Amino acid sequence: MIDQVRGKKKRFGPGLAVALDVTTLSEAEEIVTRLPADEVIFKVGKQLFVAQGPETVAMILRHGGRCLLDLKFFDIPHTVEKAVGEATRLGVWGMTLHALGGGEMLAAARRAADAMAGEMGRKPPVLFAVTIPTSMDAATLKEIGITTPLEVSVLHLADLALKAGADGIVASPLEAAVLRKALGNDFLIMTPGIRLAPQPGDDQKRIATPLEAVSAGADLLVMGRSILGTDDPAATAREVLTQLGAPRS
């Protein structure tokens, strides 16, 4: 899986994060108890966290799972610093922030995570910086006034985030190989937009299969509907882990 040592990022894996894209705590708990909690990471996004709050994280921890809090913090540095500190207090394994927040915001997040983790006597959470969301493509960027080529924007934001103290980058699997080539191996790459097969009405535009993403250099693959929409999500998750050759606990 993926681990972290203070001052040095260690690449393990590839690993699998399952998106808990549901609204109720009972739905989320059913998923957590059906999947191999010691082998996957559970991603909690805005939908579930807004509906159920910190109890979601507590529930995952009770079942021996790890929580990736995917709230994509993006605000003034002071606000993000306080939010990251509280998220660290909850005991999350990792969390996401927007690289577009800038170096000062990202550095404030790093300080808060390290300080709170030290106070709590635990390892700091893994901080992943979002570059360009996988729902966006060149046309979408142009619509909001960003004319820099998408690949250039992703690389610039990734470099900024890593220099500010982020442990990893959230990027499309289509950009993972570019990031590895340009920035090396001393950081983690988390890739959303992973699909076992194309899905009708997909809202992700830059997608790939698990093996394609790993071949490009990804460490942590985020999957939701491709696993939860099957008849046996646990079997599907284990099949993906087997395909990837992920270490078994």
Domain-embedded: residue 248: no
Residues 194/222, Cβ–Cβ less than 8 Å: yes
Residue 12 pLDDT: 55
Alpha helices in 91-132 (DSSP H): 103-120
Domain-embedded: residue 140: yes
The domain that holds 189 is classified in CATH as 3.20.20.70
Mean predicted confidence (pLDDT) in 195-220: 73
Residue 247 pLDDT: 47
CB atoms within 10 A of CB 201: 4
Residues 191/176, Cβ–Cβ less than 8 Å: yes
Better-predicted residue by pLDDT, 169 or 246: 169
Q: CA–CA separation, 58 vs 72, rounded Å?
A: 20
Domain-embedded: residue 219: yes
Domain of residue 105, residue span: 3-243
Percent share of the chain, pLDDT over 70: 89
Residue 196 pLDDT: 83
| Catalytic residue ranges | 72
Residues 77/51, Cβ–Cβ less than 8 Å: no
Number of domains in the chain: 1
pLDDT digits (tens, 9 = 90+) for 45-99: 999 999 999 999 999 999 999 999 999 999 999 999 999 999 999 999 999 999 9
Distance of CA 102 to the CA centre of its chain: 18
Domain-embedded: residue 41: yes
Instruction: For 157-169, give one letter per residue: b (16+ CB within 10 A) or e.
Output: bbbbbbebbbbbb
Domain-embedded: residue 198: yes
pLDDT digits (tens, 9 = 90+) for 178-193: 999 999 999 999 998 8
Domain-embedded: residue 249: no
Domain-embedded: residue 70: yes
Residue 2 pLDDT: 44
Domain-embedded: residue 139: yes
CB atoms within 10 A of CB 13: 19
| 162 Cβ contact partners less than 8 Å away, ≥ 6 residues apart | 129, 169, 183, 187
